Amino acid sequence: MLPPNPTDHVDAPVWAVGALVAALADALRARFNPVQVEGEVAGCTQASSGHVYFTLKDEQGQLRCALFRRVAQASAVTLRDGLRVRLLGRLDVYAPRGDLQLIVERVQLAGQGALYEQFMRLKAALAAEGLFDAARKRALPPYPESLGVVTSLDAAALRDVATTLARRAPHLPVRVYPAAVQGPQAPAQLCAALQRAYDDFAACGAPQVLLLVRGGGSLEDLWAFNDPDLVRTIVRAPMPVVCGVGHETDVTLADFAADVRAPTPTAAAELCAPARADLLQRCTQQRQRLRDAVRRQLDTQAQRVDRLVLRIGRPSQRLAQQRQWLQALQHRAQRAVQRTLQDQRERLRTATARLPASPAMRLAVARQQWLAQQQRLPRAVEALLQRHAQRLQRWQAQLALLDPQRVLQRGYALVTGPDGHVLLDAAHAPPGARVRVRLARGALAARVEQHVDGAADTP
């Protein structure tokens, strides 16, 4: 076969590159647009401008796509690698590189797109009712006394929850409320199981926290947890509800209605049950704090006793101080009597000087008054001295009660060590130590032979 002759196409027009690209773009727009295409997202990136660029591919080919910021912000679908989507847009040619690309105007999930749109409509309607408000959600109790679990008896989620609770909080009582978690009967059974838990709480206050759990699955598998009646039943719960449905990427309307959303059933159990080891450690710390507080209080009281002992001092010194005070009172009383007599004499002289020389009667009356006052003054002084003497006797009796000698006379002894200090603890006098024992009459020099456990009999 002969090769083509270059001269056969001499009459073909010569295009400029930009003009040829523009002509191809015009032909594509006129021939195909608008166009819908379905495939898998790959190489998805978002520029700082907000535009999203990605490749749509299948087994036979791939197509570059551009989703501009305006459309991306209005779209209910967040693009990510591996997501299968159906795109509506227009074909164009990016002239600087000569690349064919699809300018995306609308994004839908392929296969489950209609179901996802129904999910979004339900979410918007229930949110408008205020069922997803954060203000109505309650915090979990830090140390619940009982738990309830709503799930299927055959679900792997139940085994995960049981294993987690047995490991973290084996002491915590758990009651299971069985219900189907998939299929057309699941919403009604889940609502009935929740209501049984609510009735138990009204009757006996348990369970204090309720777990609604299920393993992962597709959007269709988890659709029972998007049922509006189930959402409203969760909102009526008298206790906090933890929803652990599916895996971390799975989202249901029950997650929005529950007080707490957990990424997995295992995580839901961990949120409700503090680890037993952590609780034991905290108890140990609290016990140590209490022990330290008691020791500090005992030390404080011991110091207070020492200060009181220093204030009391020796009884003999206190008795001497009281005697000196009584003597001072007696001296003050005598001086007061002398001043009173002197004042009366002075008043009598003054009154006598004012009287005329003739009134003998007035002089006699004044003399009688003076004599009467002289008689009353000694009695007043004697009564005052008697009161002070009685007070002195009471103080002497009180001081006698504090006298160590009286304690010794009851059979007790005062033991001092070699340094002269009083021994309060047997551990301060080891065997072989020399001690001095003071009795009510006399003293003894002794040596410690051994320590005896327990207190001696009281004499």
Determine the length of the chain: 459
And the tokens for 404?
């160590």
Q: What percent of the chain has pLDDT over 90?
A: 23
| Residue 117, pLDDT score | 73
On whether the CB atoms of residues 157 and 213 are closer than 8 A, the answer is yes
Reported confidence tier of residue 275, pLDDT bands at 50, 70, 90: low
Q: What is the pLDDT of residues 111-131, one digit of tens each?
A: 655 667 788 889 999 999 999
Q: What is the pLDDT of residues 185-237, one digit of tens each?
A: 999 999 999 999 999 999 998 899 999 999 887 777 888 999 999 999 999 99
Reported confidence tier of residue 411, pLDDT bands at 50, 70, 90: confident
Cα–Cα distance, 270 to 277 (Å, whole number): 13
Stretch among 240-249, 265-274, 353-362, 433-442 having the lowest mean pLDDT? 353-362
In Å, how far are 177, 190, 321, 397 from 390, measured between CA atoms? 86, 91, 16, 11
Domain ranges within the chain, ordered by starting residue? 14-111, 139-274, 315-402, 407-447
| Residue 128, pLDDT score | 92
| Residue 4, pLDDT score | 59
In the predicted structure, residue 322 carries a pLDDT above the cut 70? yes
CATH 3.30.70.260 correct for 139-274? no
| Residue 259, pLDDT score | 93
On whether the CB atoms of residues 65 and 53 are closer than 8 A, the answer is yes
| Residue range 14-111, CATH number | 2.40.50.140
Reported confidence tier of residue 458, pLDDT bands at 50, 70, 90: very low
Reported confidence tier of residue 150, pLDDT bands at 50, 70, 90: very high
Reported confidence tier of residue 456, pLDDT bands at 50, 70, 90: very low
Q: What percent of the chain has pLDDT over 70?
A: 92
Closest CA to 267 of 180, 191, 163, 182: 163
Reported confidence tier of residue 454, pLDDT bands at 50, 70, 90: low
| Residue 126, pLDDT score | 92
Which tops the pLDDT comparison, 45 or 318?
45
In the predicted structure, residue 303 carries a pLDDT above the cut 90? no
Q: What is the mean pLDDT of the chain?
A: 83
Closest CA to 160 of 278, 272, 270, 250: 270
Question: Any idea which residue has 């009134």 for tokens?
Answer: 359
Pairing of strands 443-447, 434-438: antiparallel
| Residue 188, pLDDT score | 94
